[in-house]
Amino acid sequence: MKIINVAIDGPAGAGKSTISRKAAAEMGYIYIDTGALYRTVGLNAMRQGADLDSDDSIIATLTDELKVELRFIDGEQRMFLNGDDVSADIRTPEASMAASRVSAVPRVREYLFDLQKNLAKNNSCVMDGRDIGTVVLPDADVKIFLTASPEARAERRYKELTEKGMDVKLEDVLADMIKRDYDDSHRAIAPLKQADDAILCDTSELNLEESIDLIINTIKSNI
Ligand code: DC
């Protein structure tokens, strides 16, 4: 059977992971969350006591002994660091910060490149991230750039956070969103940007179900 690769990129808060996971299940493909790889390398750097302000210190944690593995358990991606399941540990705010820092180091991106390539070579997948359609899988069968206006993304994130009982202000969430967009799209290496041949899917005016339908239909009509 032909291997099909779907690349989904887009800014923070566009609902990439939820939508990509559902779309992969519908298509019978695996879902690969590449942010989890950067988070695992970030967690490792934290645990090794790396100075996150120093590229050299981060690079020093990428030793031959380091084992970052992605395994599928009951169809769900789990992350292993040197044999330990760190799938929950990589979701803390500290690990998010560390992921963001290590992801700007070219050597880290090179380090994770082959792992991502090999997964896509051997499996039909929906892979989401920031540079999948532009750098990791430039020959993907379908490329989608999934976005929504900063206001729509901030509203969703605000709702999520307040439902968890967090005391946040919508204007602060929006300001954070705009800053992250700027940082992600202006970093020197693998910045967030729509590939020339990616299909733009804007979900500003759509609810989750409608967004999932849009992505599934886009994939089906382009493979
Ligand atoms: O999607 P996420 O929040 O789990 O990603 C964690 C960090 O990794 C985020 O700061 C962006 C970065 N990242 C990246 O640079 N390239 C990818 N393909 C995926 C994530």
Q: What DSSP line would sit under 56-99, residue for residue?
A: HHHHTT--TT--EEEEEETTEEEEEETTEE-TTGGGSHHHHHHH
Ligand 1 neighbour 99 (Cβ under 6 A): yes
Beta strands in the chain (DSSP E): 5-9, 30-33, 68-73, 76-81, 84-85, 125-129, 142-147, 199-202
Confidence tier at 187 by pLDDT (50, 70, 90):
confident
Cβ partners under 8 Å of residue 191, min gap 6: 130, 131, 184, 185
Q: Are strands 142-147 and 199-202 parallel, antiparallel or unpaired?
A: parallel
Read off the pLDDT band of 176 (50, 70, 90): confident
> Does ligand 1 have an atom closer than 6 angstroms to the CB of 146?
no
Q: Kindly indicate the confidence band of residue 49, based on its pLDDT and cuts at 50, 70 and 90.
A: very high
Q: Are strands 68-73 and 76-81 parallel, antiparallel or unpaired?
A: antiparallel
For residue 58, pLDDT over 90 is answered with: yes
pLDDT exceeding 90 applies to what percent of the chain? 83
Fold of 5-220: Rossmann fold (3.40.50)
Pocket test for ligand 1, best of 103, 181, 183, 193 (most atoms within 8 A of CB): 103
Residue 36 CA, closest ligand 1 atom number: 4
- Going from the Cα of 1 to the center of ligand 1, the distance in angstroms, rounded, reads 31
Q: Please give the pLDDT value at position 171.
A: 95
Sequence ranges of the domains in the chain: 5-220
- What amino acid occupies position 33? D
